[in-house]
Every structure is written in C-alpha cells, then in structure tokens.
Amino acid sequence: MQPSSTARSPDLQAPVVTTVALAGRLVVEAVDATAAGRGLQPGMPLADARALEPELVVRPADPVADRRVLDDLADWCGRYTPWVATEPALAHGAGGLWLDVTGAAHLFGGEAALLGDLLARVAGFGYAARAALADTPGAAWALARCDARAADGLVLPRGGAADALRDLPIAGLRLPPETLDDLRRFGLGRIGNLYAIARGPLVARFGAGVARRLDQALGRLREPISPRRPVPEQRARRSFAEPIATDAAIKQALRSLLAELCAGLERQGRGARRLELAVYRLDGAVRRLPIGTHRAVRAPDHLFRLLAEHLDKLDITVGIEVMTLSAPATEPMAPVQMALPEPRAPVNSLYRAGAPDRNTELAPLLDRLTNRLGRASVVRPVAQPSHLPERAQSLLPLLETPPAPPPEPTETFRSKAARPARLLVRPEPIEAVALVPDDPPRQFRWRGRTHQVRRAEGPERIAPEWWRRDGATRDYYRIEDDAGARFWVYRDGLYDTPTPGTPPRWYLHGLFA
C-alpha cells in the first residue's frame, strides 16, 4: 500500500507541492492530485513548476512528519493483521506498508473485501492509496506502485506473478537509480525483459541485486521482512457492527477477548506474562493499554481486574470499531494437581490445601500493585557479585526476569554480624568523636543533630574490592545512642595506613529497626 502524505489546499483549484533543497536549488518533492493533473511531477525544479502554474501553493517538505504519519497508519493497520511492516525510506512524500494477511482475510469477507475496506477507510482519512495482494512482498510492491488496477485494490491469483509483472516497468523491482539507468540503456525497460536472460551474464553485467530482486518477486527466493511490532504469540480480536463508546460495552467485549485468549493459552500449555489491549477508534487513532504479571497467568477474572483498573486511560468518546487483545510474552504453565483437604478440614480450605506454594496466593496482589503503582515501584532485591553493602544487591522491577545465575558456582560472602534493615541510598558523612582513633565513636553529629553513643559493637572490617583503586578499608560499628536509636556507621580508611592527603572519615550507612 502506498499512502500519500501531501497536504491538500483549502482551495481545491490551486495546485499544491512540497519542496526540498537539492544541489543549491528547490526541487518539487511531492504533488497533490490537482498539481499532477496539470503536469507537475516530483523531481522538477520549483522555478519550472512556477512557470507552468503561477498560482502554485508551495510548502516545505517535512520528512519527519511524513514518517510519523506512516508509523501511525501502520499502527492503525493492526486492525487487519498483527504483521505490519513499513518501508525503510520515503520517496517523494509517500511511503509503503506491507501487511501479511495470511489467515485474516476471511474475517473481512475475503481478500478483495479486505482491500476494499482498507482503501475506503484510508481515503476517508484524506490519503491517496493503492493496494495489491500477491504471493510475495516483491510482487505486491511492484503491482501497488506500477499497475493502474491497484487504485481500486488488485488481488493477484496464486501463481500469477510472472504474467502480472511481465509488462511492468523495471522500477518495480526496487533497484538503485544507477542500476535502473544501466538496464534502460540496454533496452531492458520491462521486468519481462529479464526472464529470458541467463543468470550468469545478468549478474556479471548488472550485479547480483537484479537477479535477487527478480527471484524474490517471482517467489523463487524468500524475502524476509521484519514486522514493525513483534507479532504476539496469542491474539484475540473483536469488531463491532456499530461503534461502542460506553464502559459497559468495553468491559463486556474485554471479558469475551480474555476468555478467548486464555482458552488459546490453555491449549498451548502457556500463561501470559504481558498483555496489551488495543482499541481502534473511528478517527483512525489507536490507543494501547499494556499490563504485566510477575508470573505466568491465564485466569480471565484476574487479568480482567488488572485491565479494568486502567480502562479510564482509553479515550472511548470517539467510538471504537475494533478491539484486540494480544499476549506479547508468554511462558510455559503446566497444570497443577490440587491436593484434597483433610477429612475434617473446612470446605473453604481447599484452595490453601492445594496451593503449590505460598507465593501463589500473593501473585494476584503483586500483579495489582505493580500495574496500579507502576512497574518501577514494586521491586525485588537481586544479589550482585560484590561484598560491599551498597553493591551487594540491586533492585529489579518485579515484572522483569532476573539475570541467569553464573554457569559455575562462585564464592559468596555472608556476614555473621547483624545488618540493618534499611540502608541509605548513599552513605552520609558524619562528624564523629572517638577517645582512641581505632575505637568506635563516643558521639557523632548527623543532619544537624548530635547523638551521644551509649553502646557500640564492632568493628566488622570490609576490605575494598581488589580490582578497584578508589576504595579504602572500612570498619563498621553498630551503635546505639542515649535515646535508644541504633545506627550502622563506618570509618572509611585506617589511621595506621591513611591515604596521603585524605585522613579517615566517618559515614552513616544504615538504620536498624
């Protein structure tokens, strides 16, 4: 499909063009239908265009906006299929989309009906588009660009690529301009002119690109094209005869989508780790609502609660035509055999008796907290290969998969001394007074307040990491002030081996409960 992103003039009689600077002069980049009808073409100098049309409306081209519009249109095409790709480059203000509609055409009444619906809706958005459906991406591209029948939607019968491409211009093979010029000089202006030429002379004279593009278009060579968004492992879709715009209708459709999606996951023996609800509005806008779970889930009621809490973020006042629910990430989820309760156990203890572990009961709560507060707000500690307290662990969002353990066991450091329940984000310097340099402090000042030390335990000595040259030996003390508050402080450096120019300093690193 080839949508044109050239804006139209309020005055339908005045031709409109966009321009770009090329080699020190302005060149026409794209033209609207009125300008094309009066003989203006992309690539001609702006001075020549003005000479033909004095009332010409000129606007600067905006490739960034064109690309953004094409990406938005690609998202909207997800209503037809999850497999949508965009062309890497724009040409003369226009871009192309690839849609793999394998297995999806029957939802729209067939391939011809799908193309007709697509073109009608794109035209309603104000874009001129051409579309063709073929066995290969190369054939579809050539037909959409070079066959006049593509304006109404062209469906090529299976196996008919060779005949359909025979009389099309050689530009339909997506070759570089210099290669196209060479082919035309030799009289090879049509794709069919290449059919009778042996591969050896063709590659020797014009390079391997010509033969490769020809074989891709004819289906002799596979052409991989990556979709713009990863294709989900499971997807459910609902289209509505009349647009819906009420909370009750949205929730009813969501429950139906969840039932279908979870049934598909159960057949595969998998559970969802991430879900994405997408709504396609009447105005062409697409709104997406992603959620995640910290373990594989396929319980429709639980997933409905997670999604229902955020439905107010979707602007449904315009009206929704299509809803899709996809599972971008899934994991294996084997069925669990529940144990029977004790003979005299109450009936309501069945769930607890059959639960595989205590974390199963916490899973719904953790999922709701994560999706309500944000993935960065619910975290878990992950051990790191360091014995320094501030580097011994890191906080990882609960929805993210922790790093795999090392293939070989490594030596771990576990302190026998009590550690505080809370570490400060960064150790904070304190002013400490000790009777003897190597003794614990008798008083210290932290955040403008002086604390008299009543009890102290330690030291716990932690040496610096040998591969880092900016560290010093630390002596940690557990101290209690006269008010009963307990702190974890350390002296950075030793008095007998001080760093030149830097005497040992005291820091407060944690607080005991």
End-to-end CA distance of the chain: 65
Whether residue 213 is predicted with pLDDT greater than 80 in this model: the reply is yes
Is the Cβ–Cβ distance between 264 and 234 less than 8 Å?
yes
> What whole-number distance in Å separates Cα of residue 43 and Cα of residue 46?
9
Compute the 3-state secondary structure of the chain and give helix, strand, coil in percent, each to the nearest 5: 30, 30, 40
Reply yes or no: is the peptide bond before residue 346 cis, omega within 30 of 0.
no
Q: How far is C-alpha 437 from the chain's CA centre?
A: 57
- Token pair belonging to 137: 């991406």
- Give the pLDDT mean for 372-379: 80
pLDDT digits (tens, 9 = 90+) for 314-354: 888 889 999 999 999 999 987 765 555 555 544 444 334 34
- Token pair belonging to 288: 């997406």
What pLDDT score was predicted for residue 172? 94
Q: Name all domains of the chain by residue range, CATH numbers in brackets.
A: 234-332 (3.30.1490.100), 422-511 (no CATH)
What pLDDT score was predicted for residue 12? 54
Is the Cβ–Cβ distance between 511 and 505 less than 8 Å?
no
The bridge status of strand 57-60 relative to strand 16-22 is parallel
- Give the pLDDT mean for 140-164: 94
> What whole-number distance in Å separates Cα of residue 65 and Cα of residue 77?
18
Average pLDDT, the chain: 86
Beta bridge mates, 4 = 94
- Give 96 or 6, the one with higher predicted confidence: 96
- Give the pLDDT mean for 54-75: 91
Percent of the chain with pLDDT strictly greater than 70: 88
pLDDT band for position 416 (cuts 50, 70, 90):
low
CA atoms within 13 A on the CB side of 455: 7
> What whole-number distance in Å separates Cα of residue 277 and Cα of residue 311?
10
pLDDT band for position 144 (cuts 50, 70, 90):
very high
> What whole-number distance in Å separates Cα of residue 59 and Cα of residue 184?
33
Q: Coil, helix or strand for 432?
A: strand
- pTM of the predicted model, to two decimals? 0.70
What pLDDT score was predicted for residue 203? 92
Beta bridge mates, 58 = 17
- Give the pLDDT mean for 41-57: 91
What pLDDT score was predicted for residue 56? 92
> What whole-number distance in Å separates Cα of residue 476 and Cα of residue 493?
11
What pLDDT score was predicted for residue 303? 94
Is the Cβ–Cβ distance between 142 and 172 less than 8 Å?
yes
